[in-house]
Structures are given as structure tokens and as C-alpha cells.
Amino acid sequence: MNIVLIVIDTLRADHLSCYGYFRETSPTLDRIAKEGVLFENYYASGIATGPGFTSIITGRYPTTHKYYLTPYNVTNVLSFDDNIPVLAEIMWVNGYTTVAIDNLINFKSRPKHFLRGYEYYINPSKSPFVPAASLMAEQANKKIIPWIKAHSYERFFMFIHYWDPHLPYNQPRAYRELYRHEKGKFGDLKILESPDGYKYVPGWGKLDEIVEESDGRTIDLYDGEIAYVDNAIAEVVETLKDEGILDDTLLIITSDHGEGLGQHGIWGHAGLHENIIKLPLILRYPKKFPKGIRVKSYVQHADIVPTILELAGIDNQDVFDGSSLRKSINSNIRDFAVSEAWGERAIIFNEWKLIIHYERELRVLKEIYPKPFTRQNYRALIPILRKTFIKGNKGYELYNIVNDPMEIHNLAEEYPSKVKELEEMIEKWIVSKVGDNDPINYLGNYVQPQPV
């Protein structure tokens, strides 16, 4: 068995056709989903890029791997714990040829744990000093496809990182003009009414709050980027098929985090609302997974490593926070989902969702700026605080995500007993992971640049 793990940066689940989006953005992913398994309630273990990718390759939540940063613009940041094993190391030790097509090493912090364990680490960027997110899918494929053709006779683990649809929206012109929504008119959009009584567009937001354009950024361009990377994945799948190894390859397609697209006052990927943490996950491996299955139970980033190891027949003694996704097809592998960011946690339990803003984050947002925070970060996060109910040294957001799918109405002040119940669930979860040593309480250790 070969393994191809594809992480599509900044990809929201609700902008894919197979997840119900009203535009046909993802014909390749739709087809793969029909041939495999689609997970409807897949949540990030941690966001943004740094925590998300680290959870994907370690099978851990940020609470236990403690990598809460995305230090793309800061040098000499406290590094990842070298004692924590990463997926590529495990695969390499167990006889797999390991290859990554990725450029996270272009971050100014040079995070080495994203390189560990790869026999081949191929950086498709033109320079180590090029901004990582500017990498286009076609540049990645120029490295991916020849490598597959040259190594198709080997048993390999391949990690692919596509940056599209992350900003900047630099896809070819044909994909820039693929979707054309006319500003101020909504006839081309799918408008629904929530049980809470407001109208909204799935993937876009509450109808009277939709941000149609922001500094040249539009949802049309974001969706065009998705179509562009979907076509790139089609080329990879076709190459695997041509080499005669597609059905002997475990194909995993997911994302590290979503994108705000103007919802909650944010275009980027701050906060723990559904548009940021609810992600796509699609698996295809006909020898072990049935076709056309849609799984509703909660699954997360941390489940990817245990799944790969089980399917590869690797008996590994390392400790992971996640469980094999095979179990989730017939039963729940967890009762609730937890997602983390620097200074925040969210718990999703049935129709309820609680976001907790911890004291350290609130201090930062009150204009105490430990590096690498900037005033730009502060301005981006202020809209979140406008909805936050502050009690003591914490802030709370409580949503009924069935009645209020766009997370408009914060019910934290109205339902204190529900807040208490969900917060106690998170606290028990933390104790089960790290005892009383909650890293959220000393986040300053994970932001300050270190002396060289």
C-alpha cells in the first residue's frame, strides 16, 4: 500500500460541491468522495497553519504537542519538541520511501519538524525566501508527477501541501474569471432561512452581512482557487491511475483550516467559528473502505496518523490523541470535538458549541502585544470580541449551531448553565491529556522569539 496525504491549505468544507455547496467547485473531489468515504463532521484539532499541520503529522492536539504558533514572519521562535515523533519518521523507519512536496520551511522560523523523516523533501518554491503562500498548484505538480512516475515501483508515503486557495489569489486567468457574482444582487446565490429567523447563504454568511469584496478579495476568486487546485489533484490521481497504483494507494484529502471570507468581520483565519474549523476530509482506499459512505460522527486532525498506521499494518507504541477513522464508520470514536487556537478552545457537542477565550488572549487583545502579535492581528480579532461575553478573566461564545448555523447569536449570557456544562467537559478533557499542567495558562512560552 502507498499513502498520498494531500493537505489543501485554507479550504472550507462548505465551499465544496460534495459538502453541499451550491457552486460546482470540486468535480475531482466529488468523484473521489463517491469512490470513498466523506466525513461530514471533521474538525481541526488546532488552527492555524502551524498548529493544524502539527496535529496532522503527530496525531495530537495542541494541548499535548504545544505548538500553538504559525511563525511565518518571525525568526528564532521556540521550536517543536524533538521528542514527539512525526508521521514521516514512523513511515520511514517501517520501510516506506518518504517524500514531501511542501515549502513550510520557507517560514522565517524554519520549522524543522515539518522536514523530519523525509528521504526526499522537495521545495517547489523558486527560493527559500519566497513567501510560502505564493506557491501555485501547478508548481507543486511539476515536482509531484515526475516523482510518482520515477518511484511508482516503490512503497511510498507522499505528503502534498497545496497552498491554493490561501491568499494571494494568484490562480491562472481562466480560474480568476470562472465565477462572477454581481455585487448587490443575490439571484445567483442559494438563500436559506435559519430556524433563528435570519436569511443566509451557505458558505457566504448572513444575507445582510455578506462581504462581497474586501481589498480586491472576493469569494468568486476564492472559489476559483478551489476549482484550480481541484484540477491539480485530478492530474495527480490520473498519474496514479496511469502507473497502475491508484487502487493500491490510500488517498487522504483534507485541510489545515478554513477562511473567514468576511464572516464575523474577518477575511482570514482567526477564531474558532465553523467557517474556520469545520473542514473537508475524504478517504479513498477501495481495499479497506466502502464506496460512497458519508460518516456523521466527530473526527479530527489527530485521527489521521492512527488511521495511516493501522492501514499500513504498523504496530507503533507511541501515544496519540486520535483514533483510527475506520472505527468511526460503524461507531463514534468521541462524544464531542475540541478545537484549539492560541488562547482559545472550542467544544462542539451535538447542537451546542462553546468557544472560550482565555485570559492570556484577552490581555493581548487589550493592547498588550507580546511578539509576534502586531496591531494588524489586533484589528483582525476585534470583531470576535464584540460578540464575546466576558465573565471574570475569560470570554465566552455559546451557539446553537443547528438553529443558528452562521453563529450570529451568542447565547452565553442567556444560558449560563449550558456554558458551565460545556466548560466542565473541556476542563475534564484537558486533565485527561495533561493533568493540571494546561499549556493555555503559560502561552507566553510559545510566542517569544528565543535568543540565538
pLDDT, position 202:
98
pLDDT grade for 362, boundaries at 50, 70 and 90: confident
CB-neighbour burial class of residue 129 (10 A; exposed 0-12, middle 13-18, buried 19+): exposed
CATH topology of domain 2-335: Alkaline Phosphatase, subunit A (3.40.720)
pLDDT, position 376:
56
- Number of helices (H) and strands (E), helices first, in the chain? 13, 19
Coil, helix or strand for 220? helix
The yes-or-no verdict on residue 363 having pLDDT over 90 is no
pLDDT tens-digit readout, 275-324: 999 999 999 999 999 999 999 999 999 999 999 999 999 998 888 999 99
Coil, helix or strand for 405? coil
pLDDT grade for 375, boundaries at 50, 70 and 90: low
Report how far apart, in Å, the C-alpha atoms of 244 and of each of 2, 110, 152, 155, 240 are. 12, 37, 8, 13, 6
Q: What is the rounded CA–CA span in Å between residue 26 and residue 18?
A: 8
Task: List, in sequence order, every residue forming a beta bridge with 5; answer none if it has no partner.
Answer: 159, 252
Domain positions in the chain are: 2-335, 340-446
pLDDT tens-digit readout, 154-208: 999 999 999 999 999 999 999 999 999 999 999 999 999 999 999 999 999 999 9
Q: What is the rounded CA–CA span in Å between residue 63 and residue 341?
A: 10
pTM for this one?
0.94
pLDDT tens-digit readout, 126-164: 888 889 999 999 999 999 999 999 999 999 999 999 999
Higher pLDDT, 392 or 149: 149
pLDDT tens-digit readout, 77-119: 767 888 999 999 999 999 999 999 999 999 888 889 999 999 9
CB-neighbour burial class of residue 335 (10 A; exposed 0-12, middle 13-18, buried 19+): exposed
CATH topology of domain 340-446: Arylsulfatase, C-terminal domain (3.30.1120)
Pick from 156-160, 266-270, 379-383: least confident: 379-383
pLDDT, position 451:
35
Report how far apart, in Å, the C-alpha atoms of 215 and of each of 144, 167, 259, 376 are. 33, 12, 16, 15
Contact 400, 351 (CB under 8 A): yes
Report how far apart, in Å, the C-alpha atoms of 114 and of each of 60, 65, 68 are. 15, 13, 14
Q: What is the rounded CA–CA span in Å between residue 216 and residue 383?
A: 20
